[in-house]
Amino acid sequence: MKSPGKVLLAGVAALATVGALAGCSSAGGSADGKTQIRVATFPPGADKAAYDAFAEQEKQFEKLNPDIDIIGVEYEWTGPTFAAQLAGGSLPDVFTVPFTDTKTLLENGQLADVTDAIEELGYTDKFNPIVLDGVTGADGKLYGFPRQAYAMGLHYNRELFEAAGLDPDAPPQTWEEVRAAAKAIAEKTGKAGYAQMAANNTGGWQLTAATIARGGRTQTDDGDGKYTSTIDNEATRAALQFLHDLKWEDDSFGSKVDLDWGTINQEFAAGNIGMYTSGSDVYTALVRDFGMAPDIYGLTVIPLEGADAGTLGGGDVAVISPKADDEAQAAAVKWIDWYYMQKLMDEDAAVLDAETLSKSGQAVGTPVLPVLSQELYLESLEWIQPYINVPLDQMTGFTEGIWEQTPVGEPKGQTQEIYALLDGVVQAVLTDENADIDALLKQADADAQAKLDG
Amino acid sequence: MTVMEQSPPALAEPEAPAVPPRPRRRRTPATWVRGGGLSTLVFLLPMLIVFFFFSWSPIVQSIVMSLQKTNFIVTEWVGLDNYVAVLADPLLGRAVLNTISFALLALLLGFPLPLFMAVLMSEVKRAKGLYSALAYLPVVVPPVVAVLLWKFFYSADADGVFNSVLGWVGIPPQPWIQSAVQAMPSLVLEATWAAAGGSIIIYLAALLAVPPELYDAAEVDGAGIWRKVWHVTLPSLRGILFIMLILQIIATAQVFLEPFLFTGGGPNNATVTILLFIYNKAFRNSLGGDFGEATALSVMLAIFLGLLSWLYFRLTNRWSTS
pTM to 2 decimal places: 0.80
Q: What percent of chain B has pLDDT over 90?
A: 37
ipTM of the complex: 0.72
Query: Span B272-284, mean pLDDT?
Result: 89
Task: With beta carbons under 8 A apart, name residues in chain B contacting A1.
Answer: 33-34, 36
> Is the model's pLDDT at B146 over the cut of 90?
yes
Least confident of A94-98, B50-54, B315-319: B315-319
pLDDT given for residue B24 in this prediction: 60
**Architecture of the domain delimited by A150-311+397-453:** 3-Layer(aba) Sandwich (3.40)
Indicate the residue of A104, A417, A424 with minimum beta-carbon distance to B268: A424
Say if residue B63's pLDDT is above 90.
yes
Q: CA-CA distance, A79 to A110, in Å (whole number)? A: 14
> In terms of CA atoms, which chain B residue is nearest residue A9?
B43
Residue type, position B27, single letter: R
Answer for the pair A265, A202: CB distance below 8 angstroms, yes or no.
Answer: no
How far is the first Cα of chain B from the last one, in angstroms, to the nearest whole number? 50
State which amino acid sits at residue A359: K
| Amino acid type, B270 | A
What are the sequence ranges of the domains in chain A? Answer: 34-149+314-387, 150-311+397-453
The whole-angstrom separation of Cα B180 and Cα B192 is 20
Contacts A–B by Cβ distance under 8 A: 131
pLDDT tens-digit readout, B2-11: 344 444 444 4
Is beta strand A407-408 parallel, antiparallel or unpaired with respect to A311-320?
A: parallel
CB A323, CB A421: distance < 8 Å = no
Q: H/E/C letters for each residue in B246-260?
A: HHHHHHHHCCCHHHH
Of all residues in chain B, the one with the smallest CA distance to A10 is B43
Burial B202-215 (b: 16+ CB within 10 A, else e): bbbebbeeeeeeee
Closest chain B residue to A433 measured between Cα atoms? Answer: B179
Please indicate whether, in this complex, the C-beta atoms of B286 and A79 are within 8 angstroms of each other. yes
The CA distance from A40 to A51, in Å, is 12
Q: Does residue B140 contact residue B255 with C-beta atoms inside 8 Å? A: no
Flag residues of chain A having pLDDT under 70. Answer: 1-32, 79-80
Topology of domain B84-319 in CATH is MetI-like fold (1.10.3720)
Find, among A177, A391, A196, the residue nearest to A278 by Cα: A196
- For chain B, the residues whose C-beta falls within 8 A of a C-beta of chain A are 1, 33-34, 36, 38-39, 42-43, 45-46, 49-50, 53, 71-74, 85, 90, 155-157, 173, 175, 177-180, 263-264, 266-270, 280, 283-289, 291
- Per residue in A286-323, pLDDT (tens digit) is 998 898 999 999 999 999 999 899 999 888 899 998 88
B129 vs A402: CA distance, rounded Å: 68
Could B268 and A109 be called an inter-chain contact, meaning their C-beta atoms sit closer than 8 Å? Answer: no
What residue of B is the nearest CA neighbor of A426? B268
Q: Identify the CATH class of A34-149+314-387.
A: alpha beta
Write b or e for each residue in B249-288: b if 16 or more Cβ atoms lie within 10 A of its Cβ, otherwise e: beebbebebbbbbbbbbbbbbbbbbbbbbbbbbbbbbbbb
Predicted pLDDT of residue A18: 46
State whether A104 and B287 contact (CB < 8 Å). Answer: yes
Tell me the residue length of chain A.
Answer: 454
Q: Which helix (H) or strand (E) holds B94?
A: helix B90-105
Under the banding of pLDDT at 50, 70 and 90, the label for residue B318 is: low
- Across chain B, how many H-helices and E-strands are there? 18, 2
> Domain segments of chain B: what residues?
2-79, 84-319
Report CA-CA distances (Å) from A412 to A208, A393, B55. Answer: 12, 35, 39
Chain B nearest C-alpha distance from A417 (Å): 6
Residue of B268, B281, B283, B290 best to disrupt the A interface, most CBs of A under 10 A: B268
State the burial class of residue B199 (Cβ atoms within 10 Å of its Cβ: 0-12, 13-18, 19+): buried
Alpha-carbon distance values, A70 to A25, A60, A336, B79, B204 (Å)? 20, 11, 12, 44, 59
Decide whether A34-149+314-387 matches A150-311+397-453 in CATH topology.
yes
Q: Pick the residue of B272, B285, B293 with the most A CBs within 10 A to test the interface with A by mutation.
A: B285
Give the bridge partners for A96, in sequence order. Answer: A318
Distances (CA, A) of B19 to B22, B26, B90: 7, 7, 58
User: Which residues on chain B are in Cβ contact (under 8 Å) with A7?
Assistant: 1, 38-39, 42
Distance (Å, whole) CA B51 – CA B58: 10
Q: Which residue has the higher pLDDT, B12 or A319?
A: A319
In A, minimum Cα distance to B282 occurs at A80
